[in-house]
Amino acid sequence: KLLLSLVALLTTVGAWAQIEALSDLVNTKSYTIQTLGRGFFSYDVENGDVKSSSVETISNVEPSGTDPNEKFAFLRGANTPEGEYYLYCVEAQKFVLHGSGYDVVLSEIPNHTWTVTKEGDYFFIAKASGEKLNVTNRANGASNGCKVAKATPDEGNKMIIRAYAEFEDFEPTIALARINMHEGIFP
């Protein structure tokens, strides 16, 4: 029993490992996204959108790695340019898009990709125009969703991506079935 527990612990620790390169992101895995300055991404079931855990500088607050609302997939399409990904919220079973202005919205249709780059120890996620994703709560106090802020890069732009600790593979869920419906985009 002790040996099995140790193996289970090592497996979990390995699954929760920080991603070091873009080549580590694969279509059949899910990940957590933590910003250095504003907490982490999660799906807000109540509001039906994606939020950051706080707008304060809370680099010590990390995702649990076990909450399904923290699961996101970086999906490469068959013809997706290098460094570009469709960002998919696994629990919502929807794609994360940048909407009008600086809003982040969810959609069942993969309308566009996000550019993901690695600089030093951190990843940066950018919208199509190249503005780095600066995760804040919306200015409207009635909503807690993320927005893409046109702002000078700061600690909120620096992101850590980790393999999701539990249920690392999201196959064969309904989520993957929905992704497969978009033939011609995903291999």
Q: Tell me: the pLDDT tens digits for 92-104?
A: 989 998 887 777 8
Task: Give the pLDDT score at 141.
Answer: 44
3-state SS assignment for residue 57: coil
Q: Which of 90, 85, 88 is nearest to 113 (CA)?
A: 85
By mean pLDDT, which of 101-105, 127-131, 142-146, 157-161 is the weakest?
Answer: 142-146
* Cβ neighbour number for residue 1 with a 10 Å cutoff: 5
> Rounded to two decimals, what is the model's pTM?
0.81
